[in-house]
A and B are shown apart, each in its own frame.
Chain A
């Protein structure tokens, strides 16, 4: 069965960076885009961008351009999302998600990683 297992809770200071990992299993990792979505406390879902695990090609939401970097390591079927210059409003649960088929229908989600930004 498809599983996406994310790294654990992070606490960071403003201005720092955070790197969240997403270990995929149960499907062909290079076959489907991996997306990253975040959710601030009490707020809705926000798409951050996606990576093509096969080519490494990325597409980022304009809001995060220049601050986010998505990478992958195909040898260990793991995707990464690094967010730099953290601010307090980056406090959120960060999810990786993949479709297993289409582009934007996310059938599979990681369990989420809470990132808290606080001085």
Chain B
């Protein structure tokens, strides 16, 4: 199916590691991209492709994929990482699909 499923909410203690997942059939064929979005702001791309970070994105952000699941890992979460996180990919017809988003709380 052309859907990407994310957990609605995840929390992490300051300085700890957190993994945010994205599941969907399209991920067996296409990499996911990951975005963070803070209130009132446009999304920001943090990971794309196999595990690529755009310029300016800290190296505590990393991506991985296995089967139908993609993961975004934040190693040593900071207070400023508290945000909504979205994955996206494309389906077999080149429609872009987004996950429902994960709200990350840094405790």
A102 with B49: CB separation less than 8 A: yes
Residues of B within 8 A of A50 (CB): 96
Interface stretch of the complex, out of A15-23, A75-83, A109-117: A109-117
Which residues of B are at the interface with A, using a C-beta cutoff of 8 A? 30, 33, 35, 37, 42-45, 48-49, 54, 86, 88-90, 94-101
Which residues of A are at the interface with B, using a C-beta cutoff of 8 A? 35, 37, 44-47, 50, 59, 61-62, 95, 97, 102-107, 109-112
The SS class assigned to the B binding surface is: strand
Q: How far is the CB of B28 from chain A (nearest CB, A)?
A: 15
A44–B96 Cα gap in the complex (Å)? Answer: 14
A61 with B42: CB separation less than 8 A: no
Cβ-defined partner of B42 (8 Å) among A47, A62, A104, A110: A110
Residues of A within 8 A of B30 (CB): 104
Residues of B within 8 A of A111 (CB): 42
Residues of B within 8 A of A110 (CB): 42
B48 with A44: CB separation less than 8 A: no
